[in-house]
A and B are shown apart, each in its own frame.
Chain A
Amino acid sequence: MRYIRLLILYAQDVIEYRSLAVVWFFASLINPLLFLFFWKGAIADNNPTGFSSVSDVYSYYFLFLILSGFLMVHIEHEVAYWDIKEGGLTKYILKPLPYITSKFFLEVTWRIAMGLIALAATMILIMLFGQLFTISLTPVQIILVILTSLLALMVSFVFKMIIGLTALWVVDFEGIEQFVFMLTLLFSGFVVPLDMFPQYLRTIATFLPIPYTIYYPVRMFQGKLTLEQSLSVIGIQILWLFILSIGYKAIWNRGVKRFTGVGL
């Protein structure tokens, strides 16, 4: 029950900052649209490999847009600046609820809002421009997509919490934040699907949790992965969640001893 209360409380927060959410959405809409325009023209001119058709391009970038709304966590900024630098962590330490739980519900509320805005925008575009793409999934695939998306959200969340906590050690967090965001965009398949990466980048990607936070859920949603590949992705997500959770606990236990809330 208290978790539902938390969700309602944070939903009020999202509603209060709704104008920010809308601006965030428009900012996130621009690049997928640019890539889409580019591929449409490139396919018309040269028939490049990688995407089989314009519909394939539409489904990739629109699903990426929707799923990044639901799954691309940005909690590290709040953790580093508001909680660690500005001292807001103090109030969380005093609460009878783990810090990570409070932050998880806050982020989930934002993700639901951003995902729904992206979904609504896609629906409007489909209504305006006709059926842009089709998705046909079996009931088993639907269950796997839901499962992988939930795991992706959790992997992404714990990963970004760890990044946020590094602010306990570094004075200027902006560099790390920007660098990790750049890596996230690159290895989440934001520009092109990982299949179209050169081999060395694909090899690097296999050692990172980032592709498992958005890219593979998108590919599963598109129906591009076989049952075996989908189960393998879910297995790796569970492994990453386990590794990152242990990492988070170790960093939190050591880092919280360094925290000083000045002037509170």
Chain B
Amino acid sequence: MKRYLRVYIKLIYLNAAALIVYPANFYNSLLASLGWGFFSLYSVVLLTAQTKGAFGWSREEILLLNGVYGIIIGIFHTVFSRNFGRFSKVVHRGQLDSVLMKPIDSQYLLSLWEFGWVSISRVLMALGYVVIVSRSLAIQTKLVDVFLFLIVGVCGILLLYSMWYIVITFTIWFTRLSNLVDLMFNITGIARYPRSMFAQSAGFAFWFLFPLLLIINIPTKVYLRRIDLGEIVLLISIAILFFFVSRVFWKFALRHYTSASS
């Protein structure tokens, strides 16, 4: 465990060094990150500008849901999404061989190789947005709420990570599907809408989307103090289950990896 932590600290440090060596890339990436962060938050402001609310959520609550999405997805981008972006390239070009040869867990290394320092700007932007929306909702936050929010937030990120990993693992068989990541970005966007919206409109697809809809909805409900212990337990259980499935599926997929050029 200590060795894994040491490796991760080293990786974070190396990613920071790369950022300093290529400052133009840093500013470029910062522009894109802030741009997407702004678009993600502002698109829901635009969408809800002429409504008082929908699906049992007031407009401010929907904006808060979107802000929480911004925080969670920002952390996800910082820690994981760049790694998923390089996943298909690693498999397609046979670079997975060198990952498998290393004396460290392959899922660990593939998931955490790159650290998106720039995406921290998105988290900060979303935090500021949540603070502003919280004022209009007059939410008084206590320490215990923050603690509970952190627990469900971490579980949400774990669930999101596991879902992405399960889907991206398919590139072991379909190496050309480099745009699975883009599909996952779009699918993840579903999580920033109220769960009741899908219960009303999506029919049977609601049950298919159910785990995804827990990721943001439950932390937001905790923040709004609409705490439902059953839902918290459900999120924790599903997150652990999906993580376990992602491990098993990855190990199964590796048995079908045929390499390339090596």
Contacts and interface: CB of A to CB of B under 8 A. Distances in A.
Interface residues of A, number: 42
A41 B186 contact: no
Interface residues of B, number: 44
A86 B165 CA distance: 29
A48 interface: yes
B4 interface: no
Contacts of B38: 182
A175 interface: yes
A49 B24 CA distance: 44
A188 B60 CA distance: 26
Describe B's contact surface by its main secondary structure.
helix
Contacts of B190: 30, 34
Interface string B152-190: 000000000000000000000010111110110111011
Nearest to B31: A175
Contacts of B47: 35, 38, 191-192
Contacts of A49: 50
A45 B57 CA distance: 11
A191 B43 contact: yes
Nearest to A191: B43
Interface stretch (B9-17, B67-75, B198-206, B232-240): B198-206
A20 to B, nearest CB: 6
Interface in B47-80: 47-55
B125 to A, nearest CB: 14
A263 B247 CA distance: 41
A171 B22 contact: yes
Interface string A20-58: 100110111011001101101110111011100000000
Contacts of B197: 37-38, 41
B166 to A, nearest CB: 16
A24 B193 contact: no
B50 A37 contact: no
Interface in A131-181: 170-179
A42 B189 contact: no
Contact of B179 (A23, A45, A196): A23
Interface centre among B51, B52, B178, B201 (most CB of A within 10 A): B51
Contact of A30 (B25, B46, B187): B187
Contact of A27 (B49, B55, B183): B183
A27 B188 CA distance: 11
A186 interface: yes
23 contacts: A20-B177, A20-B178, A23-B183, A24-B182, A34-B189, A34-B190, A35-B47, A37-B200, A40-B200, A41-B200, A46-B54, A170-B28, A172-B29, A174-B32, A175-B25, A175-B27, A176-B28, A176-B31, A177-B32, A178-B36, A182-B32, A182-B36, A191-B46
Given A35-B47, A41-B201, A192-B47, 18 more contacts: A20-B176, A20-B177, A23-B180, A30-B187, A34-B190, A41-B197, A45-B53, A45-B55, A46-B53, A50-B50, A174-B29, A175-B27, A175-B31, A176-B28, A177-B32, A186-B39, A191-B43, A196-B46
